[in-house]
Amino acid sequence: MPLSAHVSGRRVLLVDDVSDSGDTFEIALAHLRTRGAPAIVRIAVIHHKIQSHFTPDFHARKIVKWRWLTYPWALLEDLTTFVGKMKPVPRDAEEIARHLHQEHGIRLSPHMLQDLCLA
């Protein structure tokens, strides 16, 4: 999305949920700089995975051993990715639910399973 504000000379806090690979920060910083040169940029995340090639200035929790983190706002996107990688392709919702439970320890409510099948 285009940024509506100019950031030249401003103090900017860039916030994300996780520092995983670090690629998102490189893209976000480049995008931010299209609106000017900030006086200072600081980065904050909820979770910082120490394997990331990018280290944020602030984090709420450090993740030492890499693991997949699923946030409520990204649940459907993550589940869709898991289902897209299933081999063989699941035939129905029950097969999706069984695979997600066996392979990832994920149990879905009937409502979430229905949303996933419609996605």
Residue 108 lies in a domain: yes
Q: What CATH number does residue 38 fall under? A: 3.30.160
pLDDT at site 76: 87
What total number of domains does the chain contain?
2
Q: Do 53 and 93 have their domain in common?
A: no
Question: In whole angstroms, what is the distance from residue 80 CA to residue 58 CA?
Answer: 30
Mean pLDDT is lowest, of 42-46, 59-63, 72-76, for 72-76
Residue 2 lies in a domain: no
Q: Do 89 and 55 have their domain in common?
A: no
pLDDT digit string, tens, across residues 77-102: 888 888 999 999 888 899 999 999 98
Instruction: For residue 12, give the nearest of 20, 3, 21 by alpha carbon.
Output: 3
Query: Whole-model pTM?
Result: 0.71
Question: What is the percentage of the chain residues whose pLDDT exceeds 70?
Answer: 100
pLDDT at site 70: 83
Q: Do 50 and 87 have their domain in common?
A: no
Residue 4 lies in a domain: no
pLDDT digit string, tens, across residues 98-118: 999 988 888 888 888 888 887
Q: Which domain holds residue 96?
A: 72-118
Both tokens of 118, joined, read: 């419609």
Asked whether the beta carbons of 55 and 19 are under 8 A apart, the reply is: yes
Question: In whole angstroms, what is the distance from residue 104 CA to residue 6 CA?
Answer: 43
Question: In whole angstroms, what is the distance from residue 95 CA to residue 8 CA?
Answer: 53
Helix 110-118 × helix 93-104 angle, to 10°? 110
Burial of 78 (0-12, 13-18, 19+ CB in 10 A): middle
